[in-house]
């Protein structure tokens, strides 16, 4: 399988090369050259398989011959095997009943309690494996305002062939979020608290990548949400959940709390692979660029409003470009033109036929903060279950946009409620407790370096701290 760019101007790459590159050199996103299909019989057989077995079967077509099958199987088993303890639940992503033919797919049993662990835990190993085979090494750098940083750190800790440097704005992330990053004691993990805002951190990141000499010297790389490997790993749980409820005999609907459009795009890919998904509800908070698009066909930025579901506080949804590429029959020139228009005018509009095409599967729904809190309270009252604000948006949107009562509706549970204790306590009257493996988080020692908002200071620190010295990386 080869990967091509959504802007149509970059050479096709194998899986491992596309993963290491992240973004394509023409500014586009990598996407498989075609969508592989799984037969109905194969999907039906998933009902009796473990998460790890389904993961191997669903992802293998995307890997091609870039990684030997036995090696890939071993990595998948190490991450998702029921006895390996990376996920706190033996089923990895348990499906629990909510209301009538309504389900919650719990994606938050990983080490940092959010669904990003499911893909990042695999990607840490994939990077390490691919780099070892090339005798290469990379320096991962990221900026975080909360969730993503800890998931990336947990995924990269103790890997042989990489270092990770994570920038967070000093004093501007919650204590739980900071401690999830700074209590990881591993020689290749380096937390940096920048004296500035999250925007300052992002600007430093961009400047570090923009310094070509530094970028090459350190072999900079990123594991952000546009990386194809992340989308790929998220396809799996659509299969496990749908097969458990009777697919492919029955069709299934999903409701997906959405920000960068990565998680819900994985559902789209599952459908292209043959999983009978009859509806994908794109659930947003007040930052509703996606919900507005599926209503009107106009994709238009509108600034960012802080909400109680901060992981969905986005201005543009970077992975949306991948859907656009398919909507425009894989015409990269057209995608480039629309994104130029977005950059120049703040928006673009697709024609009625393409809007209708997208609405055959997708529908949007938006929830504001009061409605989010009311949903947390209602689910607690009606089912005795405590859910986090992102998950609540998915549940409410699924109810509002349900195709019919006979189609199972699965809402994706994206984070553990203990990650967002304030809003959950306000809605339910009880502060949610951290699960046992993180119960002593507030007592663990922390390590991080405070640095000024200054590129040279960050670069100097990175040069001194990287345990991995780059000496002529094999061509990539
Ligand atoms: C990242 C995140 C989201 C948004 O997912 P996308 O793939 O960016 O659409 C939603 N909820 C939580 C808890 C997240 O961490």
Q: How far apart are CA 261 and CA 273, in angstroms?
A: 18
The pLDDT, as a whole number, for residue 173 is 87
Question: Which atom of ligand 1 approaches the CA of 151 most closely?
Answer: 15
The reported pLDDT for the residue numbered 48 is: 94
Question: Measured from the CA of 262, which atom of ligand 1 is nearest?
Answer: 7
Encoding tokens for residue 352? 């009625």
- Strand-pairing partners, residue 168, are 193
Bridge partners of 415? Answer: 114
Confidence band of 222 (pLDDT split at 50, 70, 90): confident
Of ligand 1's listed atoms, the one at least distance from the Cα of 257 is 10
Is 156's C-beta closer than 6 angstroms to any atom of ligand 1? Answer: no
Mean pLDDT, residues 439-448: 94
Distance from the alpha carbon of residue 393 to the mean position of ligand 1, in angstroms? 11
- Measure 134 CA to ligand 1 centroid, in angstroms: 32
Q: Are strands 162-169 and 95-97 parallel, antiparallel or unpaired?
A: unpaired
Determine what percent of the chain is predicted with pLDDT higher than 90: 87
- How high is the pLDDT of residue 358? 98
Is ligand 1 within 6 A of the CB of residue 258? Answer: yes
Provide the token pair at 466. 């990287």
469 is catalytic: no
**For the chain, which domains are there?**
95-113+228-428 (3.40.50.1100), 137-224+446-476 (3.40.50.1100)
Q: Are 108 and 414 in contact (CB under 8 A)?
A: yes
- Determine the average pLDDT of the residues in 395-403: 97
The pLDDT mean for the chain works out to 94
CA of 259 to the centre of ligand 1 (A): 6
Cβ neighbours of 433 (radius 10 Å): 12
Query: 313 and 79 in contact (C-beta within 8 Å)?
Result: no
Residue 329 neighbours by CB under 8 Å, 6+ apart:
none
Cα of 414 vs centre of ligand 1, distance in Å, is 7
Farthest CA pair distance, the chain: 60
Contact yes or no for 269/319 (Cβ under 8 A): no
- Residues 6+ away with beta carbon under 8 Å from 425: 431, 432
What average pLDDT does range 246-263 have in this prediction? Answer: 96
The candidate with the shortest Cα–Cα distance to 186, out of 140, 224, 122, 248, is 140
Cβ atoms within 10 Å of 1's Cβ, excluding its own:
17
Q: Residue 451 forms beta bridges with which residues?
A: 194
Q: Cβ(365)–Cβ(400) under 8 Å?
A: yes
Task: Tell me the per-residue pLDDT of 150-176, one tens digit each, with 9 for 90 and over.
Answer: 999 999 999 999 999 999 999 988 888
Note the pLDDT of residue 140: 94
Catalytic residue among 2, 42, 47, 116: 116
Is it the case that residue 141 has pLDDT exceeding 50? yes
Q: Per-residue pLDDT averaged across 266-290, rounded?
A: 98
Q: Give the model confidence (pLDDT) of 233-253 as tens digits.
A: 999 999 999 999 999 999 999
* Residues in the chain, overall count: 476
Question: Residue 473: pLDDT band by 50, 70, 90 thresholds?
Answer: very low
| CA dihedral over 8, 11, 12, 17, signed as positive or negative | negative
Give ∠ CA 365-358-407 in degrees, rounded to 5. 65
Q: Measured in angstroms, how far is the CA atom of residue 11 from the centroid of ligand 1? A: 30
| Mutation to probe ligand 1, out of 146, 263, 393 (largest number of atoms < 8 A from CB) | 263
- pLDDT at position 472 is 45
pLDDT digits (tens, 9 = 90+) for 38-81: 999 999 999 999 999 999 999 999 999 999 999 999 999 999 99
The dihedral through the CA atoms of 273, 276, 279, 280 has a sign that is: negative
d(CA 49, CA 46): 5
pLDDT at res. 468: 65
At residue 475 the predicted structure's pLDDT band, cuts being 50, 70 and 90, is: very low
> With a 6 A CB cut-off, is 311 part of the ligand 1 pocket?
yes
Does residue 262 line the site of ligand 1, with CB under 6 A? Answer: yes
Question: How many Å apart are CA 470 and CA 139, to the nearest integer?
Answer: 9
Query: pLDDT of 55-66, one tens digit each?
Result: 999 999 999 999
What would the mean pLDDT of 259-282 be, rounded to a whole number?
97
User: DSSP letters along 252-287, please?
Assistant: EEEEEE-SSSHHHHHHHHHHHTT--EEEEEEEE-S-
Instruction: Provide the pLDDT confidence category of residue 411 given band limits of 50, 70 and 90.
Output: very high
Higher pLDDT: 437 or 326? It is 326
pLDDT value for 267:
98
Residue 177 has pLDDT above 60, yes or no: yes
pLDDT at 474 over 70: no
Spatial CB neighbours of 359, under 8 Å, sequence gap ≥ 6: 294
The 10s digit of each residue's pLDDT in 3-14 is: 999 999 999 999
The verdict on the CB of residue 239 being under 6 Å from ligand 1 is no
Give the model's confidence band at 476: pLDDT under 50 very low, under 70 low, under 90 confident, else very high: very low
Any atom of ligand 1 within 6 Å of the Cβ of 263 = yes
Q: How far is the CA of 461 from the centre of ligand 1 (A)?
A: 31
pLDDT of residue 275: 98
* 292 closest CA partner among 351, 355, 353: 355
Instruction: Tokens for 398, please give them.
Output: 């699924």
Q: How far is CA 33 from the centre of its chain?
A: 21
Confidence (pLDDT) at 314: 87
CA of 10 to the centre of ligand 1 (A): 28
E strand or H helix at 52: helix 51-63
How far is residue 467 from each of residues 153, 164, 186, 221, measured CA to CA in Å?
15, 10, 11, 16
**Ligand 1 contact via 335 beta carbon (within 6 Å):** no
Alpha helices (H) in 245-368, listed in sequence order: 262-272, 289-296, 320-327, 332-345, 352-359
Q: Which pLDDT band, with edges at 50, 70 and 90, does 469 fall under?
A: low
**pLDDT > 90? residue 293:** yes
Closest CA to 94 of 81, 84, 85, 107: 107
pTM: 0.95
For residue 82, give both structure tokens.
Answer: 């029921």
- Compute the distance between CA of residue 178 and CA of residue 181 in angstroms, rounded to an integer: 5
The residue contributing the CA closest to ligand 1 atom 14 is: 311
Ligand 1 pocket member 146 (CB < 6 A): no
Is 260's C-beta closer than 6 angstroms to any atom of ligand 1? yes
Question: Which has the closest alpha carbon to 142: 59, 55, 66, 230?
Answer: 230
């Amino acid at each position: 399988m080869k990967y091509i760019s959504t802007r149509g101007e970059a050479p096709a790459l194998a899986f491992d090369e596309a993963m290491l590159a992240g973004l394509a050199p023409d500014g586009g996103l990598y996407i498989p050259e075609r969508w592989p299909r799984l037969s109905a019989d194969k999907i039906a057989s998933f009902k009796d398989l473990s998460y790890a077995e389904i993961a191997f079967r669903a992802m293998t077509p995307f890997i091609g011959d870039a990684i030997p099958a036995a090696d890939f199987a071993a990595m998948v088993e190490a991450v998702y095997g029921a006895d390996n303890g990376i996920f706190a639940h033996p089923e990895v992503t348990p499906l629990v009943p909510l209301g009538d033919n309504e389900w919650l797919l719990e994606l938050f049993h990983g080490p940092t309690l959010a669904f990003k662990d499911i893909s990042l835990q695999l990607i840490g190993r994939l990077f390490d494996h691919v780099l070892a085979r090339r005798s290469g090494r990379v320096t991962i750098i990221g900026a975080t305002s909360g969730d993503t940083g800890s998931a990336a750190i947990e995924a990269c800790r103790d890997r042989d062939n990489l270092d990770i440097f994570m920038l967070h704005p000093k004093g501007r992330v919650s204590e739980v979020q900071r401690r999830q990053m700074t209590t990881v004691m591993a020689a290749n993990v380096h937390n940096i608290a920048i004296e500035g805002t999250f925007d300052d951190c992002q600007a430093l990141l961009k400047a570090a990548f923009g310094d070509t000499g530094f970028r090459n010297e350190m072999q900079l790389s990123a594991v952000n949400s546009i990386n194809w490997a992340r989308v790929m790993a998220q396809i799996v749980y659509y299969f496990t959940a749908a097969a458990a409820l009777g697919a492919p005999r029955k069709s299934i609907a999903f409701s997906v709390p959405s920000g960068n459009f990565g998680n819900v795009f994985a559902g789209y890919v599952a459908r292209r692979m043959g999983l009978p998904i009859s509806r994908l509800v794109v659930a947003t908070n007040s930052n509703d660029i996606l919900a507005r698009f599926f209503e009107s066909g106009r994709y238009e930025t509108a600034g960012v409003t802080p909400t109680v579901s901060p992981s969905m506080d986005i201005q543009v949804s970077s992975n949306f470009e991948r859907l656009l590429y398919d909507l425009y029959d894989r015409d990269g020139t057209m995608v480039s033109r629309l994104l130029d228009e977005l950059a120049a005018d703040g928006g673009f509009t697709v024609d009625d036929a393409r809007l209708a095409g997208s609405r055959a599967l997708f529908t949007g729904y938006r929830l504001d903060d009061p409605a989010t809190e009311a949903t947390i309270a209602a689910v607690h009252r009606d089912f005795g279950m405590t859910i986090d604000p992102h998950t609540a948006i998915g549940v409410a949107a699924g109810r509002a946009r349900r195709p019919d009562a006979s189609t199972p509706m699965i809402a994706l549970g994206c984070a553990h409620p203990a990650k967002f204790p304030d809003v959950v306590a306000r809605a339910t009257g009880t502060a949610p407790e951290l699960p046992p493996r993180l119960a002593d988080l507030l007592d663990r020692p922390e390590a991080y370096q405070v640095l000024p908002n200054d590129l040279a200071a960050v670069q100097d620190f990175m040069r001194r701290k990287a345990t991995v010295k780059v000496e002529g990386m094999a061509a990539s």
